[in-house]
Structure 1
């Protein structure tokens, strides 16, 4: 085992991977909107960017058999840097080019997350992994806050300078690529190989796909495996529907039913204050799940997931008159989202076991991403048809439906909702 302190690489490895991931997950929606896409098309494109996260498990065995993962991390980080440059270059060529470059970035980010997690598990023994869980989460969440909030605010400032929004986005992406490149260069020296690799006889992608299909077949043999999946879909439905529309509601003009916020205001309210509240909710949720009764904690999380639409429904009934009011509402909604997201842990553990115990962002778990994509993709169209007030009302009404489905699933298959969270 390498003698180099984990403090020299854990913060930078997991902080750096969130720089492009946060751009693809949260910022891409605004990119599409400011490139002229309608809300319906913007949410569809942004939701499809989650597809690589749903499919990343199919290359898991292929990556694992490549060895000790250090070289894989290096070439992935080089490829991510180039993909960020492609994103910056794509703005003058329209929405199709932007979508293609963002999809490539999302694919590489999903592979990097998988490889970094394997490297972390190989380099640190389980007791040491427990020690570094909190620092790993802290630096990862800090990177999300800085990337989401500061990138949008910077682009807003550059728009004033250039007088052209696409030039501003291109420059912002170049700056993001440069910042990520510094971390990648540092990792060339900071990452050390473990004492023992794990190269296998097979390195083919097709073999990895077959191995994952075999795992899926074994999952389907578990008693009642479909019940927690359906329950998870309906529990996440309120948040899935508003995952992108909450930002569109802030962005669209008051004449179109939105709040007419500037991009800088969105960057501060949603990308900084909101993401900080989301991270705080995640932190509290993890502590409650580790210390409390799993069933009691689960229902606290499940109820919290359904509260966020009520905040936005209130905003449509009584629009905030100042940025402070918008920040207060987004803070509360995002805190409930972060806290409630830990309701996913127990169904995911029943389906996938301990595979994702070291995953930082629960949205990057394939099952969670799969449940999120269909409602999120349709949400922009639904909001355009219904109007924001009716949309958030209907969204809020899906929460009791999710609770009812979960109650029925828990009565039929209680074992899927009572396993304790590991370290």
Structure 2
């Protein structure tokens, strides 16, 4: 039920973004939009984890701590739902009369008949191949005991790293990425951004080798990684806007983000098995190797070089 509700909300919010903003505005705000999307994820994996750690120390009972944390999550969701209900602008998508009620076949068929669609979908699936595995195992790596290959950080420390430093880095990277694409177009920044989203993964290799006791080493790696992620993800999302461009852009964007989710889910499923097989040092080396297809597909994928430029 949670996944169904999340997917439905994603489709609605993505559709609103595409309909309410002009194409040139979409690239400018894409960094901010992606940043706050990621902030939502970090809030769940960082700030609320930090809250749970604080309550665990206060109550001395992990179950009670997480129960109150979930109550806090529910309260936040209800509050945001009310704000969205009252403040979301009312916009309507303009359609030609002959396409007022398109069939599923029309929408689905027109998406897969787009030019270079297989290459484009390969980009969607492979751009974050390394990151999709890293994100699943980063927190366990920080929390696991040093004897097990982790860094042995506390729940509160991990929550602070992701919930504070990570959010700041995401804001910086995402906003700058969107502004640069809107100024120069996607073509100029595609390769720098694929480098930015993948290169910081090397930092986790060194963390797993050295296992530094100073928490600031881990915090620095996360800050750089999140900064690069925010910056590099802007190119990915602008490409999705290009892929969805057309009369059925809301539905096509939903299909594109479905493939995006697949590109995160499938590698994420195997990440735990890979870590158990290789250990943390070997796993993070594998993550770096897994970034290579992303570089290749970013170089070969076809799109207008000035797409997104104001």
**Residues 294/196 of structure 1: CA separation in 2 closer, same or farther (3 Å cut):** closer
> Who is 1:400 aligned against?
292
* Number of matched pairs: 297
Do structure 1's residue 251 and structure 2's residue 143 form an aligned pair? yes
Matched, 1:421 2:308: yes
| Structure 1 residue 148, shift from structure 2 partner | 4.3
Contact 2:188 2:305 in 1 (8 A): no
Please show how residues 172-251 of structure 1 align to structure 2 within 5 Å: 172-186=69-83, 190-191=86-87, 194=90, 211=104, 213-251=105-143
User: How far apart are the structure 2 equivalents of 1:197 and 1:227?
Assistant: 29
Deviation at 1:418, TM superposition (A): 2.6
Q: For 1:14-51, what per-residue CA distance to the aligned partner results, in whole angstroms no more than 9, with x for missing partners?
A: xxxxxxxxxxxxxxxxxxxxxxxxxxxxxxxxxxxxxx
- Name the structure 2 match of 1:109: 6
Is 2:66 the counterpart of 1:165? no
| Alpha carbons 1:250, 1:261 under 8 Å: kept | yes
Distance of 2:91 and 2:106 partners within structure 1:
30
1:419 shift after superposition: 5.0
Q: 1:261 to 1:195 in 2, by over 3 A?
A: closer
Q: CA deviation at 1:238?
A: 1.2
Distance of 1:255 and 1:214 partners within structure 2:
57
* Counterpart mapping for 1:267-282 below 5 A: 267-282=159-174
Aligned position for 1:151? 48
Q: What is the Cα deviation at residue 286 of structure 1?
A: 0.8
Any residues of structure 2 matched to 1:2-401 within 5 Å, and which? Answer: 104-118=1-15, 126=22, 133=29, 137=33, 146-186=43-83, 190-191=86-87, 194=90, 211=104, 213-345=105-237, 347-353=239-245, 355=249, 365-401=257-293
Matched with 2:97 is none
Contact 1:280–1:338 (CA<8 Å) still a contact in 2? yes
Cα distance change of structure 1 residues 264 and 405 upon mapping to structure 2, 3 Å threshold: same
Shift of 1:194: 4.4
After TM superposition, the score normalised by the length of structure 2 is 0.81
2-structure distance, mates of 1:221, 1:141: 31
Higher relative contact order structure (alpha carbons within 8 Å, sequence separation ≥ 6): 2
Cα distance in 2, alignment partners of residues 150 and 325 from structure 1: 20
Other structure's SS at 1:244 match:
helix
Residue ranges of structure 2 left out of the alignment (5+ in a row): 95-100
Whole-Å separation in 2 of the counterparts to 1:249 and 1:135: 28
CA change 1:108–1:373 in 2 (3 A) is same
Q: Distance in 1 between matches of 2:89 and 2:242?
A: 33
- Cα-to-partner distance string for 1:226-284 (whole Å, 9 max, x where unaligned): 01221332321111121211111112111111111111111011232123212321111
CA contact (8 A) 1:346 1:419 kept: no
TM-score using structure 1 length:
0.61
What is the CA RMSD across the aligned residues, in angstroms? 3.4
What are structure 1's unaligned runs of at least 5 residues? 1-103, 199-206
